[in-house]
Structure formats: structure tokens, C-alpha cells
């Protein structure tokens, strides 16, 4: 009944009291918090009135994911059966988070587009400590890579490729730091090797041809994945023992709020240019009225931004091993056999020098503070409708929309 109030209280405790954060990470089973949060996000993903709920769950996960002990604790097996259509898998709570966030991307409301980078950042933060990824989670992460490398996403804005950079960092973290025990991810990457090859061999001529084929004579983009939420994230570089090496703050933009929750939806004032709505998605990076056109500079930035070397080295060594196995078996090879072979293959001395682990932490700012204030008061407003104590038309902090009666 009061899960939204509890989420607000949890968030304020995490934000205001560092000792509370340390307590739940070291003295409690943090997975008991993660399971209901993932369930709420999964169930609310397509309900426009619940976008605010998804936002605050996302903020909690992002805040927690910045801590090393959180990523380590997620390796505990997930054995709970949730009352929803979550895909069946045998894995850990890290798998639960990845599968949930994948569903929010591929089957979530349109207004969740601005949170895509946050979703992948959460996965990226926990990836260096992910000891054994399930096959379901591995396939879904590679599917996300295929989705974000498709022309529809890749050419939606100047910086749309940042999603790919984060996903590649996820793969690199697992391959470099948790290779043993993660043959499922290696297998999923090998199965989709062409997607990585196409991106590595992308040229300006190919990009322009794909862009023209995508847009044709249309002069406007349908959506823009390049939205403003990076200012809420600061970057911390640590070594494999969790020691901080350097800290950097990103300045790409800021994330503010959208609607609150329940059937009588509440959202922040439309005159605030920093609130997330449909227009922020459309206008984030592309010129108004014109679709994105690749340039030499964009290709150069793409090549410099995407860390493909580790995955490329992996494929150069693993693909011949799998091909040889298929040749010996006349093309009839069981998936289990391939996984057993991959489990025994070593990549010692074949991969690039391991990169430093980069953790992107939640960075509060005035826009997120405004959003949380609006969300909290929106919950209070909606909880007091049986005997109304507020005049919805007089409220300036957020706008009140009354859903039509279905009767």
C-alpha cells in the first residue's frame, strides 16, 4: 500500500546518511531490497502513470551500483519466484537486474528513453564483479548491443553511440576481470560476432548509405536516443581491489523529472526546460527538422569512443576454436558441448592489458533535487484524494491530469 513512500524514505536515507548506505551494504542482505525494486520496475514499465516510480527505482539502483560491495553481493543466487512474466533463468541477482533493465528498454514506455544510459550505467557499474552470468542475461545484453547498433538507434543523434560504448565496457569488464565462469557471455558474443564486425568495419560511405536507407526523403527523426541525463553521474576510476585512482565529473547534461504516479498522474511544470518529456527526447541532439547525417568527424569520434579491441581479440581467438569443433561434428553441435569447450579455453596473454575499472556514481544536482521534491509531493497529493485537502488547480510545483473515467 505504501511502497512509494517507503521508496522515498529509502532514497532520502541513502542520500543524506552515508552510514546508512554502509550499513545496508555490509550488515544487511541488500538483495532483499533489490528484488522488490526490480519487480516494481518490471511491472510499471508500460504504465505512463508509473513513470515516476520507475525513475526513483532507477535512482536507487544507480546510487547503490556505485559501491563495490553492492556488485559483489549481487552474486548471491536468485531463487525467488516473482508474480510476473519475468523470463525463467538460473543465476544471480545481477542477472535479475540485467534482465529487468533489458525489458524496460525493449518493452517499456516511450518516456523511459531518457533513462537508457542510466540503465546501462547500472549494469556497467556491477559488471567487474559479475562472477557467473546466466545464459539468459548474456543473450539479452548482446541483444541490447544489436539494438543500439542498429541504424534506427545509431543514427538517431550525434551521441547515440554512447549506449554502445557503455555496453562494450560491460563486455570488457567481464572478459578482463571475470572471464572464468562467464562462458555464457563469450558464447553469446560469438553467436552475434557479425554485429561487432559490422561496427568495427563501419566507414563513412556505409554510414551515409545506411542513414539514407533509414530516413529516405523524410526530414525528421522519429525519436532521439541522445538525451540529457549524464550530469547526475560522476566517474570514479578504481583498481581491481576497489582503491580509488581518479575521479571525474561528466558534464554532458542533467536529468530532471517526469510524471509522478498513480492513475491521476502528476508531473512537473511544463515550462521547466529541464524536465523529461517527449520533446526532450526529440530535441536533444539533432537539428530541428533535419535527420542526423554522419560525417568524417562523427566516424572518427565513434571509432575513438567504442572500446572494441578486447571483444575483437576475443573473437579472433575463440571463433576458430568453435569453427573447428563444428567441423569435427559435421555442423551438428550441442550448445552444452560448445559451453564446455569455452570453459576450458584460456585467454591469458591474448587479451589487451586490463583497463582500470571505471565506476560512474550518482551525482546530485538542482534538477534531480527539484524532481524528487515534485515526486514526493505528488505522492502526498495522490494519497489524500478520498478527502481532498489540496486544490489541484492551485498547485504550481507539478501539473495534475485527471484520467478519463473508463466507465
pLDDT at 249 over 50: no
pLDDT at 141 over 80: yes
Long-range contacts of 378-386 (CB under 8 A, 24+ apart): 378/52, 378/259, 378/260, 378/261, 378/266, 378/267, 379/4, 379/5, 379/8, 379/260, 379/261, 381/266, 382/260, 382/261, 382/262, 382/264, 382/266, 383/5, 385/264
pLDDT at 405: 59
When pLDDT is averaged across residues 264-281 and rounded to a whole number, the result is 35
Question: Which pLDDT tens digit goes with each residue over 150-205?
Answer: 999 999 888 889 999 999 999 999 999 999 999 999 999 999 999 999 999 999 99
- 157 in Cβ contact with 225 (< 8 Å): yes
Report the candidate in 132, 163, 129 with the shortest Cα–Cα distance to residue 149. Answer: 163
pLDDT band at 278 (very low <50, low <70, confident <90, very high): very low
pLDDT at 270: 33
pLDDT band at 372 (very low <50, low <70, confident <90, very high): confident
Orientation of helix 3-16 relative to helix 366-382, angle to 10°: 150
pLDDT at 289: 41
Q: Which residue has the higher pLDDT, 138 or 280?
A: 138
pLDDT at 226: 41
pLDDT at 233: 55
pLDDT at 279 over 80: no
User: pTM for the full model?
Assistant: 0.80
pLDDT at 366: 83
pLDDT at 269: 35
Q: In this predicted structure, which of 1-5, 25-29, 76-80 has the lowest mean pLDDT?
A: 1-5
pLDDT band at 330 (very low <50, low <70, confident <90, very high): confident
pLDDT at 179: 92
Q: In this predicted structure, which of 227-236, 262-271, 327-336, 369-378 has the lowest mean pLDDT?
A: 262-271
Q: Could you give the count of Cα atoms lying within 13 Å of 133 in the half-sphere of its Cβ?
A: 35
Q: Which residue has the higher pLDDT, 383 or 180?
A: 180
Q: What is the DSSP string of 166-209?
A: HHHHHHHHHHHHS-TT-HHHHHHHHHTHHHHHHHHT--HHHHHH
Q: In this predicted structure, which of 163-167, 248-252, 296-300 has the lowest mean pLDDT?
A: 248-252
pLDDT at 380: 81
How many Cβ atoms are within 10 Å of 28's Cβ, its own excluded? 11
Q: Which residue has the higher pLDDT, 35 or 232?
A: 35
pLDDT band at 275 (very low <50, low <70, confident <90, very high): very low
Q: In this predicted structure, which of 53-62, 102-111, 219-228 has the lowest mean pLDDT?
A: 219-228
Question: Which pLDDT tens digit goes with each residue over 253-271?
Answer: 333 333 333 334 444 333 3
pLDDT at 373: 84
Percent with pLDDT over 90 in the chain:
50
pLDDT at 383 over 90: no
Question: Which pLDDT tens digit goes with each residue over 47-95?
Answer: 988 888 999 999 999 999 999 999 999 999 999 989 999 999 999 999 9
pLDDT at 144: 96
Q: Which residues contact 234 (CB under 8 A, 6 or more apart)?
A: 247, 248, 249, 250, 360, 361, 362, 363
When pLDDT is averaged across residues 98-106 and rounded to a whole number, the result is 96
How does the average pLDDT of the chain come out, rounded? 81
pLDDT band at 283 (very low <50, low <70, confident <90, very high): very low
Report how far residue 291's alpha carbon sits from residue 17's, in angstroms, rounded to the nearest whole number: 46
pLDDT at 388 over 80: no
Q: Which residue has the higher pLDDT, 345 or 252?
A: 345
The burial class, CB within 10 Å (0-12 / 13-18 / 19+), for 264 is: middle
Amino acid at each position: 500500500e505504501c511502497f512509494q513512500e517507503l521508496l522515498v524514505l529509502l532514497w532520502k536515507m541513502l542520500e543524506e546518511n552515508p552510514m546508512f548506505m554502509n550499513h545496508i551494504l555490509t550488515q544487511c542482505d541488500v538483495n532483499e531490497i533489490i528484488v522488490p525494486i526490480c519487480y516494481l520496475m518490471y511491472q510499471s514499465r508500460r504504465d505512463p502513470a508509473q513513470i515516476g516510480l520507475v525513475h526513483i527505482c532507477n535512482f536507487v539502483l544507480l546510487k547503490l551500483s556505485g559501491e563495490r560491495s553492492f556488485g559483489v553481493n549481487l552474486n548471491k543466487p536468485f531463487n525467488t519466484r516473482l508474480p510476473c512474466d519475468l523470463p525463467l533463468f538460473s543465476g544471480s541477482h545481477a542477472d535479475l537486474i540485467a534482465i529487468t533493465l533489458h525489458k524496460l528498454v525493449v518493452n517499456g514506455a516511450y518516456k523511459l528513453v531518457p533513462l537508457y544510459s542510466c540503465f546501462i550505467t547500472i549494469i556497467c557499474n556491477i559488471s567487474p564483479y559479475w562472477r557467473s552470468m546466466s545464459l539468459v542475461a548474456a543473450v539479452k545484453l548482446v541483444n541490447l548491443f544489436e539494438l543500439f547498433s542498429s541504424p534506427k538507434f545509431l543514427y538517431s543523434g550525434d551521441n547515440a553511440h554512447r549506449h554502445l560504448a557503455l555496453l562494450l565496457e560491460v563486455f570488457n569488464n567481464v572478459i578482463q576481470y571475470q572471464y572464468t565462469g562467464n562462458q555464457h557471455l563469450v558464447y553469446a558474443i560469438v553467436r552475434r560476432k557479425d554485429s561487432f564486425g559490422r561496427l568495427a568495419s563501419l566507414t563513412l560511405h556505409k554510414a551515409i548509405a545506411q542513414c539514407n536507407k533509414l530516413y529516405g526523403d523524410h526530414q525528421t527523426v522519429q525519436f532521439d536516443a541522445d538525451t540529457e541525463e549524464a550530469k547526475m553521474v560522476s566517474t570514479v576510476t578504481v583498481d581491481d581491489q576497489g582503491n580509488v585512482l581518479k575521479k571525474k565529473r561528466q558534464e554532458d547534461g542533467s536529468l530532471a523529472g517526469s510524471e509522478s504516479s498513480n492513475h491521476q498522474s502528476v508531473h512537473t511544470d511544463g515550462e521547466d526546460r529541464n524536465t523529461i518529456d517527449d520533446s526532450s527526447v526529440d530535441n536533444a541532439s539533432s537539428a530541428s527538422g533535419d535527420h542526423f547525417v554522419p560525417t568524417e568527424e562523427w566516424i572518427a569520434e565513434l571509432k575513438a569512443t567504442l572500446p572494441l579491441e578486447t571483444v575483437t581479440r576475443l573473437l579472433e581467438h575463440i571463433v576458430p576454436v568453435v569453427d573447428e569443433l563444428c567441423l569435427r561434428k559435421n555442423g551438428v553441435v550441442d550448445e552444452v558441448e560448445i559451453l564446455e569447450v569455452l570453459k576450458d579455453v584460456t585467454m591469458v596473454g591474448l587479451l589487451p592489458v586490463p583497463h582500470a575499472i571505471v565506476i560512474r556514481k550518482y551525482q546530485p544536482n538542482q534538477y534531480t533535487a527539484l524532481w524528487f521534491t515534485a515526486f514526493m509531493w505528488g505522492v502526498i497529493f495522490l494519497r489524500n484524494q478520498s478527502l481532498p485537502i489540496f486544490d489541484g488547480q492551485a498547485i504550481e510545483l507539478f501539473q495534475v491530469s485527471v484520467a478519463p473515467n473508463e466507465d
